[in-house]
Amino acid sequence: MIAPVANSLNYQLASKLLDASVMRHEAIATNIANAETPGFRRIDIASDFTRALRSQFDGIRPPAVSNIAAINPHLAEDPNVRTVRPDGNSVEIETELMAMSRNRVDHEFLTEIVSRHIKQLKTAITGRIT
């Protein structure tokens, strides 16, 4: 009976995006750490992750959970960023700090969703609202 909650589309999506937000935080930490390394190129989640997720929501019917589970985020160099510095480094510290704040809010939101799913299950088991 636990499987329907763990396999629900929202739960799967939230945990997938939670993985992505943790990975993005790692990327931002790397970018800020290397803000003064000559020739360093900014890294981020590869854009094909969001593209693959979005393509699942093109139709009227919600996508199959197994399709969502097969999409995994990975890191790549950001191809859109320009470098204006003489040392070839493409990190802008303000952009990274903004991205970090935003990512943190995303992370909080997603942990909340995952928590709610688990709480719902607890309520169903115990019959009490915790």
Partner 1 sequence: MELLTGIAATSGALNSQRTRLDIIAQNIANARTTRGPDGGPYQRRIVSFESELLRSTDSANGANSPGLATVRVSGVTNDPTPGQRVNDPGHPDADAQGMVTLPNVNLAFEMVDLITASRAYEANLNVAKNSRQMAMRTLEIGK
Residues that bind partner 1 (CB under 8 A): 22, 25-30, 32-38, 40-41, 43, 74-77, 93, 96-97, 100, 104, 107-108, 111, 114-115, 118-119, 122
Q: At 75, give phi and psi (nearest 5°).
A: -90, 150
Q: How far is the CB of 75 from partner 1 (least distance, A)?
A: 4
Closest to partner 1 by CB, 2 or 60 = 2
Work out the burial of residue 5: count CB atoms within 10 Å of its CB; fewer than 13 is exposed, 13-18 middle, 19 or more buried. Answer: middle
Contact criterion met (CB below 8 Å) for 109 and 13: no
Shortest separation between residue 33's beta carbon and partner 1, angstroms: 3
Name the minimum Å distance from CB 60 to partner 1.
Answer: 32
Answer whether 34's CB lies under 8 Å from 92's CB: no
Q: How far is the CB of 27 from partner 1 (least distance, A)?
A: 7
Quick one: 51 or 104, whose CB is closer to partner 1?
104
Distance CA 93, CA 31 (A): 8
How crowded is residue 82: how many other Cβ atoms within 10 Å of its Cβ?
6
Residue among 65 and 75 whose Cβ is closer to partner 1: 75
Question: Which of residues 9 and 98 has its CB atom nearest to partner 1 in the complex?
Answer: 98
